Structure formats: C-alpha cells, structure tokens
Amino acid sequence: MIKKGFLLIFIIFISSLNANYEKGQEIFNKKCSSCHGNFIDMKILKTNFFEKENKLLNLTIPTVNMLAYAMIDSPKHIGDKEDSEMQQIEIEEFLKSYLKNPDINNSICEPSIIKYYDKKEFVDYKLSDEDISNLAIYFMNYKKERLKKNPKKVRILSNNFNENELLKEAKKTNKKILVYATSKTCHFCKKMDKEVLSLSDVEEEVQKDFIFLKVDIEDVSLPFNLAKGYRGMTPTFFALNNDGKLENKYPGSWNKRDFLLILKENKNK
C-alpha cells in the first residue's frame, strides 16, 4: 500500500509539473513569442554571432532557446540545477525584476552578443505570480522537453545513401561527420551502444557538432572511400570534415570520458 501510495503521489507530481510547463509554454507563446521568436539551432546561432557578426540572422532580441540557455546553462545561469526548488524561486525573482526594469546591465545574456540587441523597453505583460512561476518551469524544462519531442536519431546507412546530399547538409549546418563502423556480431559495439552512445549527454554532444552515421559493415560498404586502409575492426569511428575528407580514425571501444574527448578533439573550433 505504501509503495502504491508513493507511486500515486509521484504520478500526480509529474502530471502537475507537465501541466505547469504547458501553461508556461502557452503564456510564452501568447505574450512573448511575437518578439523573441522560435527555436534556432545553437550551431547556427554561434556562426551568426561569432563568425558573421550577426549579419546572417540580424537578430535584435534573443530566441526562446537562447533565453532558456542563458537562464539554465550559460556561465551566468541562475541558481543551482541540483536544487530545483530554489532555482525556480531565483528564476521567478529574476523574471519579475527584469520585466519590471529591463536594464541591459542586469541581463544574463552573453556580453559579446548584447551589443546586437535593441534596447529593451518596459512592457506590462500583466503576468500574475502564477504566470511567472509557470514561465520559470517552462524555461527550466525547455531543453529536456524539446529533446523529447524532437529526438535525435542516429542515421543508419543504407544502400541508397546519397553522399552529396549529406555533404550539403553538413555544410549548411556547419557540422562535421562522424561515421561509426559496427556489425551485428560485435560484442563491444553493443556494449558501447548501451553504456556510452545511448546516454543523453553523449547524444547531445554528438548532435551539437556532428552528423552521426552508423554503418553495419556486414550489410553496407563504408562511405566516403573509408574502406581504403580499413582493416575491418569494429567498432571504429571515423571523423570527417564537412567536405567528406577523413581527419581522424579511432579503432576500438571507448568509455564515456574518452569518447567525449574524441568528440571535443574533432569538433569545429
């Protein structure tokens, strides 16, 4: 009975949290989205601000995902993610303060980006304390909920694979290509799939900088002329630039720490 009671309380808590997230999303869409705009991939945003001096997108106000990043994950983030209750309170206080007095000196956005933004004027959004609370929950859970609705899937190479189309995508998104050579009979591939590649933080790091292509060498030939010099060892990871040129090769199985180092070593600087 105790276990059933605990489970019921947990389900009610999760349902309430989801409802508050959805309310926060509704408030943002109704009162904020016309100015702040929809999601833009962080890779494109980085290119826009740090390489193109905002001439690619000409943004004058942060997007919804930029706001969520600034509050939750940026160097100037609000509160401690390990204490979600206190973090929510701190985000609520920040929102109340900033919306009442939108001073650029109180902004938590990246200082090198703020120079591109228009001066924020006071607008009375007529938000209640409950509205502010729901907005805080919305921003706190934005990234997790977005990943749920837009799961990042590994590309499985097939016989009708088009190298040119993938290269176009790689250049457009400014991502490199990571090819994973595997096979159905490879024990260490299955181990890596389960213990490393399936982890959400590893998936996130892969998707930020790479198009991830999984190749079962028992069924399909390796793309981009990678078979040349390849001895058939699985797993093997090939890091290519967005012209399809091989930059590094990593034969063998890797733990999480070492695989993240491989990603860091090969991502675009």
| Residues 169/223, Cβ–Cβ less than 8 Å | no
Query: In whole angstroms, what separates CA 27 from the centre of its chain?
Result: 23
> pLDDT by residue (tens digit) across 29-70?
888 887 888 888 777 788 889 888 999 889 988 999 999 999
Tracing tokens 């740090």 back to the chain, one arrives at 50
Predicted confidence at residue 155, as pLDDT, reads: 76
> pLDDT by residue (tens digit) across 197-217?
988 788 888 988 999 999 999
Beta-strand pair 155-156/210-216? parallel
In percent, the amount of the chain with pLDDT more than 90 equals 42
| Angle between helices 84-100 and 129-149 in degrees, nearest 10 | 120
d(CA 67, CA 70): 5
Domains of the chain: 2-149 (no CATH), 155-266 (3.40.30.10)
d(CA 79, CA 20): 19
**Joined tokens for residue 159:** 């016989």
Tracing tokens 């024990």 back to the chain, one arrives at 187
Predicted confidence at residue 149, as pLDDT, reads: 66
Averaged over 5-23, what is the pLDDT? Answer: 54
Please report, as a single letter, which amino acid is at residue 19.
Answer: A
